[in-house]
Amino acid sequence: MNLSVLSAGAWGTALAIAFAARHKVTLWAREEDVVAAMRNKRENTRFLPGHPLPDSMLIEADFDAAVASADLLVVATPLAGLRTTLARLAVIAPKTPLIWVCKGLEAGTAKLPHVIAAETLGADARYGVLSGPSFAEEVACGLPTAVTLAANNHDFAHETALALHTPRLRIYANDDLAGVEVGGAVKNVLAIATGISDGLGLGLNARAALITRGLAEIARLGEVLGGKRDTFMGLAGMGDLILTSTGDLSRNRRVGLALAAGKTLPQILEELGHVAEGVSTAREVARLARDLCIEMPITQAVDAILHQGVAADVAVEKLLSRDPKSETA
């Protein structure tokens, strides 16, 4: 299969490396220095250094050329670029199926990616999302990873999962687009919370409590948005939440650790050098929860720290002082 990965960030590059074992892969990048490095050094020295690109992989700077020959498109842009990219694809490749790998809610609208896809691609398009517990560094190294592929068409989900599946990148088909996307979006916010907790030295008990109660927040929002409870117990829910909250490769966890250390958000993002989707997602999820009258206190606390100037220790104390209630409420 001819497969084009659109955007050569760390995650797009890692997936391109993994998929090249079975498919003819083209990797598109908009940054001239990244294209030059990948062509000359056969390595993405800017976003994923230390991982050689397969000789068979094509590097493309021309977006239209990268799309033209593809049987499947993998959109690996950050969420902020998803709508623009899909709108462009709707014009130049309206019949080419695609999956995206970004996580979050659209800034300003709080829309999930599949809603953006429906608006830009139309009802007849075949599309889906690849999500789950996966660090780019480990996928590029060929370490065992399992993820979920959810799509708007049952056959497309299963056929695409089978086509992309490898012994080291196991892909499980799913038909719950909303549930998979909510899990992938909100876990980034909760990873910031866990990083703050660990950075403040609140202990492993607190970390476990945050992850568990955070999963309850994911499920509350996800079910209201049409997701299935079983999805939140799987790879795209619990699995992704555990990895992102505890793994030090997690950008969002690192944001939380840095906030606990007293650094400002602009300073943190500059030092990070990559997109941490949980920063923008926190505001959208918190607003959506208020609008839908869904109780999400951890998410609200993270939003207050990130966007309302509340100190991390003050937000934590406010969270801990809440009245007790039934665990299943």
Q: Answer yes or no: do 139 and 222 share one domain.
A: no
Residues acting as catalytic residues: 187
Helices 277-292, 177-199: crossing angle, 10 deg rounding: 110
Residue 47 lies in domain: 2-175
Q: Answer yes or no: do 44 and 167 share one domain.
A: yes
Q: Answer yes or no: do 206 and 256 share one domain.
A: yes
| CATH code where residue 82 lies | 3.40.50.720
Domain count along the chain:
2
Confirm whether 329 is domain-assigned: no
Q: Answer yes or no: do 167 and 245 share one domain.
A: no
* pTM reported for the whole predicted model: 0.96
Query: What's the Cα-to-Cα distance from 148 to each of 12, 49, 235, 237, 240, rounded to whole Å?
Result: 16, 26, 7, 10, 10
Report the relative pairing of strands 24-28 and 58-60 from DSSP bridges.
Answer: parallel
Q: State which of 175, 201, 223 marks the end of a domain.
A: 175
Please report the pLDDT score of residue 327 as a whole number: 86
Q: State which of 175, 199, 222 marks the end of a domain.
A: 175
Confirm whether 87 is domain-assigned: yes
User: What's the average pLDDT block by block, 10 residues per block, for the chain (329 residues)?
Assistant: 97 98 97 92 96 97 96 97 98 97 96 97 95 98 98 97 97 97 98 98 97 98 97 98 97 96 95 89 97 97 97 94 85
Please report the pLDDT score of residue 273 as a whole number: 82
Q: Answer yes or no: do 56 and 162 share one domain.
A: yes
Instruction: Indicate the SS3 state at residue 268.
Output: helix
Q: State which of 141, 175, 209 marks the end of a domain.
A: 175
Please report the pLDDT score of residue 123 as a whole number: 83
Residue 26 has a CB neighbour count (10 Å cut-off) of: 23
